[in-house]
Structures are given as structure tokens and as C-alpha cells.
Structure 1
Amino acid sequence: MLEAKLQEAGTLKKLLDAIKELVTDANFECNEEGIVLQAMDNSHVALVSVKFSAPAFKRYRCDRPMPLGVNLAALTKVLKCAKDDDICTLKAADEADVLNLVYEAKTSDRIAEYDMKLMDIDADTLSIPETEYDARVTLPASEFARIVRDLSQLGESVRIEVSKEGVRFAADGEAANGSVLLRQSDGAPTATGPIRPKSEEREIEAVDEDGEDDDAAKPAAVKKEKDDDVEMDKDADDEDEEEFKPKADDEDGEEEKEDDDAEDEDADEDDDSAGKKRKKSGSSSKPAKKAKTAATKGKGKKKAADEDAAGVVIEMNQHVALTFSLKYLVNFSKSATLSPRVQLMMSNDVPLLVAYDFAQGYIRYYLAPKIGDD
């Protein structure tokens, strides 16, 4: 049995809008790790690969691997009945011939339920080999969409060239030619090793981190040093707290002295007021400093995120130049609604990889380059 609850139906709607013009019928392969779709277009020029990871669902259950053969146009129509912020649940029994979709409104008690007929699609499971690319260009998805849309007005093909100068998109048409050059953003990293899709790099890092316990792998001396640091920090905190206690006691003592000694009243009041001012300034300085530091860090993180979203990162091991069909790239760019960033992975004589990573998984497009006049 399959039960997959997605927090927002809008994510699935955007995904289908991006691939429905490339693929007509396809199998959603469901297993304990998530839901995967891999299919080629009718001309076998482009391949699309989609993955929804199991942890991305609000609730996910798949007792055994099962394919869900669907007509994407029909599924799109059924999803149009849901609001973007509706909770969407996909249900299917073992060897079922229907897919049950339930939409739950977050702002009301409305629950809508639809059944869609499944198809028996005889399609071979495609194996995509892991590839190390010569160049990777990461840029805003909106910028990529604009470039391919503009150049598609001039011609049918675009030449993408990655060099030390930057990445250049050039199209030649019967009436006009055009090109767009994107240079590396300041402070962007450069390639220092094998280039793979970022989602694969994160998976490798996650495996490395989960493969061994950092604390268990550290020598005992390192652990002891770490524990000592914690104790020192604790002692330091205790000292900071004790610094204020004598001052408070002094203040009480001075007030009692003021009651007992009327002759020194004026002097004690002057000393008292000065001491209180010092205490107030001392006690308020540290929290204010911490608040300012936290606010500064928050602004720095936001600024870094904004710069990362707007910048162009070019990682290159060697010069790459290939020509591709603009019609397909325009279709790929529709996935900009899923992710603010897009990766272009290129190697000479290897299909182009256009990758979008989003919170629930990823969508990847593979496009074969044009050779000669083809």
C-alpha cells in the first residue's frame, strides 16, 4: 500500500506543469526511499528525472515497490481541482488500478477526494550513469529562463560556451544574431576537483558524516580537552554571575549605613548613585552587545543568501562549447517556479544536465547536444 501526504499540492502542480509537454505517459516508481519518475520524450532527445524523497512528505508509507502508470495530462486536470496550499494525499493499494487523491483545505473543513484510473505502461527502467562533468554553471533560474526565451526569438539553437571569460549563450537566426555573456560573480568558488550535481555532493557528504561518529572517532585526549572546555566555560559563567553578587551586597550595606549614619548621608548617597550608574551600565552592556551581534549575524546570513541567489558561479576544469535545441531549454526553464537556482552541467560530447533542487527533492533534464547541422 502507498500513502504519501504532501504539505502543499502546489509543489506537485508546478512539477507536472514543467514536464507535461515533454512526457505524455510515465510510471511513478514508488519505494521506501520515495517516488521517482524517469522518462524520455517521444523523439528520444531529452530525458527527465524527478525524485520526491520520503522525508519530504508529511507522512509516507510504501509497503513494497510499485509503479503508478499515469497520463500526465489527466493528472494535471485532477490537480487543478486542488488549491496550492491544500494538503495533498496520494493513496494506492497493492496492484490497484486507481490512484486516490485527497485534498484537505488548511483554512476550512473542506475535504475533496478524487479517483484517477492508472495505466499499465510497459517502460524499461532507465539507468543514468554517474558522470563527472568538465564545467558547472550555477545561476538564477529566472535569468536562465529569460536568456533562453529571448534567444528562442532569433533561432532554433543556442551555443553554450564555458570559458575563463564566463559563460556565453549565442544564437544565430536568419534575420539577427544574439549572445549573452555571464561573468563569474565576485567571491564565487572555483572548481578544485570532480564536478557533480550538488544534490549528489550533498548525499556523499551525508554518507561520510553518517558513516562514523565524530565523537567516537576522536582520541580520548581530544574528548577530555572538549570536556575541559565545557567545564571552563561553565566556571567562567559562574564567575560572571558572582561578580554582580558582591556589588549587590555592597549596595544593601550602603543603604543600611545610610540609615544608621546620618552624618555620612550625603557622601553615601553620592557614592551610592555613582555605584548604581556603574552597575546599570555594566549589567546592560553585555546583553546589548549580544543582541547587536545576533542581529548583525542575522543580517549577514540574509545578505549572503541574497548574494548567493543573485550571483553566477562558474566551476570549470576545461573549456566546453556545445549546441542545443532552444525549444527543449525553454521547456526546462519552466521549472524555475520550483527553485530559484539552476545548475548547468556540461562536458564535451556528453548530454547537458539542467538540474533544479527544491525542498522535496529534485528535477533533472538531460539534453543531447546537436552535432553538425542536425
Structure 2
Amino acid sequence: MLEAKLNEAAILKRLLDAVKELVTDANFECNEEGINLQAMDNSHVALVAVKLESTGFKRYRCDRPMPLGVNINSLTKVLKCAKDDDICTLKAADDGDILNLTYEARNSDRIAEYDMKLMDIDSDQLGIPDTEYDARVTMPASEFSRIVRDLSQLGESVRIEVSKEGVRFASDGEAANGSVLLKQSEGIGATASGKIKAPAKEESDGEEPGPEDEEDDEEGGSKKKVKKEKVKKEDGDAGDEEDVEMNGDAEEDEEFKGRSDNEDEEDEEEQENKKRKKKASTSKNGKPSKKAKRSLDDDPPNAVRIEMNQHVTLTFSLKYLVNFSKSATLADKVQLMMSNDVPLLVSYEFGQGYIRYYLAPKIGDD
């Protein structure tokens, strides 16, 4: 049996609004760790991945893994019956064909209940292989929305170029051309970086990585089976297509480990305070400790951060990027992960999970 209680129905409503233009029918895969959705659009050019972690629910129970096959438009209509601040509860019985949604109003005794028929959708949970990216751009989600919306008025495609100068979005239309250059914000630090991995939810120290973060373990002999899903690379000329593997599984960020010293004569509370302070600055031998990866919340709200290993230039369909930008209602910041000849990863992370989009680049000249 599944029972998932959300403090606010707004989260589900915004998620559905963000994917309904891309996906018609999809399975919400439920297990003890949370609810996942992975689906591709009909043209196999874009893939969307959603995760709602069980810890983000007010109450969560899932006795065994189970799929909830739903029509996205139908579920959107049912969710429109809820106010944004209503407490929303999802219930489904094992092997049942009904999804029950209950909305409890916060300021009244009103309780609304809806039953929605589930569908039998034959689809596999997609495994997204690991990949390393050449560039990562972290920017305000509202700015990204504005750029793709403005450039979509000029043309159908946008060229995204990441260089030492900054990140440039350019579109060439029949009547006009336009480009927007964003430079890295002052005080962010060096733009060069080592291996750039897909964003991962932060793990607390000592916590084991979740299933998404597991890799092949040569010593233990365990191995994660990964199914590679292929998407078609768009071409300016119809009929000329290539296959591109979707890449970009999340990998656990490097943990930060620092220690403090000379604490023997301090009481327990002072020791803990000192540990926390020194953990952020120095290691046991007094040398600066290796810095942990910065989270999206470390930078100022309107900051632009650019990490780059090499120059990257790719062209994408603006229609898809405009659809992706609807997720700005869920998160204040967006990450763009790019490498030449591999799909773009657009990632929005919010308190309860994330929504990520993968988009194959265009080839040829439009």
C-alpha cells in the first residue's frame, strides 16, 4: 500500500505543469525511498527525471515497490481542484487500479476526495549512465526563463557557448538576431575545475549514498545494472538523424572531512563549536582543508557561477528549453551541464527532491 502525505499540494501542481508539455502518460515509480518519474517525449529528443524523496513528505508509507501509471493531463486536472496550501494525500492499494487524492484545507474543515483511474503503462525505469561534463553554469532560474523566452521570439534554436568570457545564448532568426552574455559574478572565485559531475543531493557525513549514487563496487562484487536509453539527435534537415546516448547520472559530491585540535581542556559544548568552525577552515595539521563542493545555496541569489574545463558550444531547440524553464516555480536556481556532442542537462533542485531534463543537441545548420 502507498500513502504519501504532502504539506502543500503546490509542489505536485508545479511538477505536473513542468512536465505535461513533454509527457502524455508516465509511471510514477514508488518505493520506500520516495517517488520517481522518468519519461521521454514522443520524439525521443528530451528526457525528464523527477524525484520526490520520502523524507520530504509529512507521512510516507510504501510497503513494496509499485508503479502508478497515470495520464499526466488527467492528473493535472484533478490537482487543479486543490488549493496550493491544501494538505494533499495520495493513496493506492497494492495491485489496485485507483489512485485516491485527498485535499485537506488548512483554514476550514473542508476535505475533498477524488479517485482517479490508473493505467497499465509498459515502460522500464531508465538508467542514466554516469558522465563527466566540460562545463557547468549555475544561474538564477528566472534569468534562464527570461533568456529562452526572449530568444524564442526570434528563432527556433539557441546556441549556448561557454568560454572564458562567460556563457552566451544566441539565436539567429529570419528577421533579427539576438544574443545574451552572462559573465561570472564577482567574488565567486576561479572558474576552472576538475571533473564536473551531474548534481547530486547532498549527503550528511557518514551517510551511505542512495541507489542513484551507487557505482560498480569491484571489491564487494556488487554491480548496478544500467540500461542505456538512446535519444535522437535533432537535425536541421528532416530525416537526417543520429543517435545520442543520454548521459548524466547523479554522483555523490565529495565529502568534506576536517578535524580540530587542542580541545582536551575544553568542555564538551565548546569542543563541538570549535569542531564546526575548524571543519570549515583548517585540518588537523593546520593547513587549509580541501574545500567541499559548494551547494547552490552558497552563492548570492542572483549570482552566476561558471565552471569550465574546455570551450563548449552546442545548439538546442528553444521550444524544449522554454518548457524546461517552467520549473522555475520550484527552484530559484538552475544548473546547465554541457559537453560537446552529449545531451544538455538542465537541473532544478528543491527542498524535497529535483527535476532534471536531458536534451539532445541539434546538428547541422538551421
| TM-score of the pair, normalised by structure 1 | 0.75
Aligned residues: 293
Aligned to 2:219: none
Find the counterpart in structure 2 of residue 144 from structure 1.
144
**Correspondence 1:199 to 2:191:** no
Q: Is 1:226 matched up with 2:226?
A: no
Q: Which residue of structure 1 aligns with residue 50 of structure 2?
A: 50
Q: Pick closer, same or farther for the CA change 1:233–1:218 going to 2, 3 Å.
A: closer
Corresponding residue number in structure 2 for 1:64: 64
- The whole-number CA distance in structure 1 between the counterparts of 2:152 and 2:74 is 29
Structure 1: how far apart are the matches of 2:87 and 2:188?
38
In 2, Cα distance between the equivalents of 1:233 and 1:327?
56
1:291 maps to which residue? none
2:354 matches 1:362: yes
How far is the alpha carbon of 1:198 from its aligned partner?
Answer: 3.0
Contact preservation (8 Å) 1:199, 1:357: no
Q: How does 1:14-25 map to 2 (within 5 A)?
A: 14-25=14-25
Q: Would you say 1:161 and 2:161 are equivalent positions?
A: yes
1:175 aligns with 2:175: yes
Tell me the residue number matched to 2:290: none
1:341 paired residue number: 333
CA 1:232/1:50 → structure 2, altered by over 3 Å: closer, same or farther?
closer
Off by >3 Å, runs of 4+ in structure 1: 231-234, 304-307
What are the equivalent positions in structure 2 for 1:304-315 lying under 5 Å apart?
308-315=300-307
Report the Cα offset of residue 165 of structure 1: 0.1
Given candidates 344, 347, 350, the residue that maps to 1:352 is 344
Partner of 2:130: 130
Matches within 5 A, 1:270-285: none
Is this contact kept in 1: 2:9–2:87, CA < 8 A? yes
Distance 2:73 2:258 in 1: 55
Structure 1 contact 132–194 (Cα < 8 Å) conserved: yes
Tell me by how many angstroms 1:130 deviates: 1.7
Q: Match of 2:74?
A: 74
Gaps of 5+ in 1: 212-216, 235-303
CA separation of 1:313 and 1:114: change in aligned 2, threshold 3 A = same
Contact 1:89 1:102 in 2 (8 A): yes
Q: Distance in 2 between matches of 1:233 and 1:31?
A: 42
Q: Take 2:198 and 2:91, find their aligned partners in 1: how far apart are those partners?
A: 31
Please tell me whether residue 209 in structure 1 is matched to residue 209 in structure 2.
Answer: no
Letter in 2 for 1:371: I
Task: Assess, with a 3 A threshold, how the Cα gap between structure 1 residues 305 and 66 changes in structure 2: closer, same or farther.
Answer: closer
Aligned-residue identity in percent: 75
Higher helix share: 1
Report the residue type matching 2:200 in the other structure.
Answer: S
Kept in 2: contact 1:6–1:89 (CA 8 A): yes
| 1:192 shift after superposition | 2.7
Match of 2:118, as an amino acid? L
Distance 2:197 2:300 in 1: 19
- In the TM superposition, what is the alpha-carbon distance from 1:126 to its structure 2 partner? 1.0
Q: Deviations over 1:309-366 (max 9, x none)?
A: 1010001011100000000000000000000100000000010000000111000000
Letter in 1 for 2:90: L
Q: Distance in 1 between matches of 2:108 and 2:193?
A: 52
Q: CA deviation at 1:50?
A: 0.2
C-alpha separation in 2, matches of 1:183 and 1:167: 7
Which amino acid in structure 1 is aligned with residue 331 of structure 2?
S
Compare CA radii of gyration and give the structure with the larger one: 1
Q: Compute the displacement of 1:232 (Å).
A: 11
Query: In the alignment, is residue 35 of structure 1 matched against residue 35 of structure 2?
Result: yes
Q: Deviations over 1:279-309 (max 9, x none)?
A: xxxxxxxxxxxxxxxxxxxxxxxxx979621
Distance of aligned partners of 1:343 and 1:91 in 2 relative to their CA distance in 1, 3 Å threshold: same
Higher relative strand content: 2
Change (3 A) 1:230 1:309: same
Letter in 1 for 2:344: L
2:187 maps to 187
Separation in 1, partners of 2:176, 2:56: 46
* 1:16 and 1:72 in contact (8 A); partners too: yes
The structure-2 alpha-carbon separation of the partners of 1:30 and 1:232, relative to structure 1 and needing over 3 Å to count, comes to: closer
Give yes or no for the alignment of 1:371 onto 2:363.
Answer: yes
Whether the 8 Å contact between 1:166 and 1:184 is mirrored in structure 2 is yes
Q: Offset at 1:218?
A: 10
> How far does residue 191 in structure 1 lie from its aligned partner after superposition?
4.0
Per-residue deviation, 1:124: 2.0
Q: 1:117 to 1:184 in 2, by over 3 A?
A: same
CA 232–366 in structure 1, closer or farther in 2 if over 3 Å, else same: closer
CA distance in 2, matches of 1:81, 1:307: 37
- The answer on whether the counterparts of 2:131 and 2:198 sit within 8 Å (CA) in structure 1 is no
1:90-143 Cα deviation digits (max 9, x unpaired): 000001100000101111111111000000000122111121111000000000
Report the TM-score when normalising by structure 2.
Answer: 0.76
